[in-house]
């Protein structure tokens, strides 16, 4: 390896192959990789080339998940929702095997049009075309229309 790795993924112990072009979502909280895939709308049926590592050793945290998506870059909306379930994640853009861009996700103040309210009586879930809007809290999200708060299971609110 040509530089120091600190996550125990030197070439000789790399668990998930390097990708050529695409996005590596690294330092995902252990156990959240499948939710990351759900947020990205990836279920494998479109032939997407994806590698997933779950609960692999990491120095920053005891264990981490990692998701590598070949041939795809993420939208800001997707990164915003990712930040809710993987607040410490790093987004690495890879081109021709090199990491050309790396940034930490940031929790937005508000997410619009990405999550759907679990409240069946909420105006955003009726027939009217009202775009969902949630305020991001320390420990969850709050619907701006009906004030419903969701703490766990944010991934289950993802509009697919
Ligand atoms: N990676 C990859 N394919 C590449 C290049 C990098 O899958 N062609 C992965 C690495 O395995 C690592 C992540 O992308 O999980 C970030 O790569 P790099 O910045 O080289 O690693 P670190 O320095 O360990 O990253 P950090 O400091 O963010 O932990
Ligand atoms: Zn609502």
Q: What is the pLDDT of residue 160?
A: 60
Residues 143, 92 share a domain: no
Residue 149 corresponds to which tokens in the numbers above?
């708060």
Q: CA 54, CA 144: separation in Å to the nearest integer?
A: 34
* Closest listed ligand to the CA of 69: 1
Q: What was the ipTM of the complex prediction?
A: 0.96
Measured from the CB, is residue 9 less than 6 Å from ligand 1?
A: yes
Measured from the CB, is residue 59 less than 6 Å from ligand 1?
A: no
Q: CA 76, CA 82: separation in Å to the nearest integer?
A: 10
Q: CA nearest 52: which of 32, 72, 71? A: 32
Q: What is the mean pLDDT of each run of 10 residues along the chain (160 residues)?
A: 48 78 96 91 93 89 91 90 92 97 95 90 88 92 96 78
Q: What is the pLDDT of residue 157?
A: 86
Domain boundary among 104, 127, 142: 104
Q: What is the pLDDT of residue 120?
A: 92
Q: What is the pLDDT of residue 128?
A: 80
- The whole-model pTM stands at 0.84
Residues 84, 55 share a domain: yes
Residue 2 lies in a domain: no
Cβ contacts of residue 5 below 8 Å, gap of 6+? none
Q: CA 97, CA 74: separation in Å to the nearest integer?
A: 17
**Of all helices (H) and strands (E), which one includes residue 118?**
none
* Residue 111 CB-density burial (10 A; 0-12 exposed, 13-18 middle, 19+ buried): buried
Are 24 and 51 in contact, with CB atoms under 8 Å apart? no
Q: How many domains does the chain have?
A: 2
In terms of residue numbers, what domain contains 120? 110-157
CA 134 distance to own-chain centroid: 17
Residues 74, 140 share a domain: no
Atom 1 in ligand 1: which residue has the minimum CA distance? 18
Are 16 and 53 in contact, with CB atoms under 8 Å apart? yes
CA of 59 to the centre of ligand 2 (A): 39
Q: Cα torsion at 24, 7, 20, 85 (round to 10°)?
A: -10
Residues 39, 114 share a domain: no
């Amino acid at each position: 390896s040509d530089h120091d790795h600190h996550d125990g993924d030197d070439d000789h112990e790399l668990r998930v192959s390097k990708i050529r072009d695409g996005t590596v979502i690294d330092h995902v909280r252990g156990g959240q990789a499948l939710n990351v895939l759900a947020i990205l709308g990836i279920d494998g049926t479109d032939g997407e080339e994806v590698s997933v590592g779950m609960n692999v050793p990491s120095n920053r945290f005891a264990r981490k998940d990692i998701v590598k998506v070949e041939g795809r870059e993420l939208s800001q909306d997707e990164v915003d929702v990712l930040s809710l379930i993987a607040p410490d994640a790093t987004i690495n853009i890879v081109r021709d095997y090199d990491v050309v861009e790396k940034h930490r996700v940031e929790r937005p103040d508000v997410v619009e049009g990405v999550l759907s309210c679990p409240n069946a009586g909420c105006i955003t879930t009726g027939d009217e075309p009202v775009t969902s809007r949630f305020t991001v809290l320390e420990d969850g999200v709050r619907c701006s229309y009906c004030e419903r708060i969701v703490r766990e299971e944010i991934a289950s609110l993802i509009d697919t």
